[in-house]
Amino acid sequence: MKKFTLLSFIALATLSCSDDDQNFPAVSLQGKWSLKEIHSPMVRRVTTFDEGAITWNFNESKRELAIENPTDNQSSLDSGTYSYSIGIEENICDLALNIDRPEHDLDLGCITIDGQMLSISKAYVDGHIYIFKKVN
């Protein structure tokens, strides 16, 4: 009876524990990405960029994003280093990128990586779609 009680207690304790860490699918943003296009659905415009003109460099261990934007293109973020986080867009997608900025956080939308291509999209609310290519 003691063994049954002990096993029951261990099972109950194990099942009742909650995991506060959110488990996101394994996707790596690590490294440098070159912005290729910004789609703006509201105005039906696609802005294209030469490879390397605007780059985003993700450092996953520090959760920092270094942006090089010498073009002063206002559709992209200004040059600088930002903190970022990955979260969930409730009922939309499992991975969403949030940029921490002093003036206000910026939710850029859902992340999709297909090989060497990265898409960050808020198209579900007529927001921008950023298309990047991994820099080797």
Instruction: Give pLDDT tens digits for 35-61.
Output: 999 998 888 899 999 999 999 999 999
Does the pLDDT value for residue 73 go beyond 80? no
Distance CA(72)–CA(47), nearest Å, equals 13
Q: What is the DSSP secondary-structure string of the chain?
A: -HHHHHHHHHHHHHHH----S---------EEEEEEEEEETTTTEEEE--TTSSEEEEETTTTEEEEE-TT--TTSPPSEEEEEEEEEETTTEEEEEEEE-SS--EEEEEEEEETTEEEEE-GGGT--EEEEEE--
Stretch 107-128: mean pLDDT, rounded? 91
Rounded average pLDDT over 65-78 = 82
pLDDT tens track for 88-104: 888 888 899 999 887 88
Banded model confidence at residue 6, pLDDT cuts 50, 70, 90: very low
Domain boundaries along the sequence of the chain: 28-134
Range 97-101, long-range pairs (CB < 8 A, 24+ positions):
97/29, 99/65
Percentage of the chain modeled with pLDDT above 70: 78
Q: CATH number of 28-134: 2.40.128, 3.30.1330, 1.10.287, 2.40.10?
A: 2.40.128
Residue 20, pLDDT above cutoff 80: no
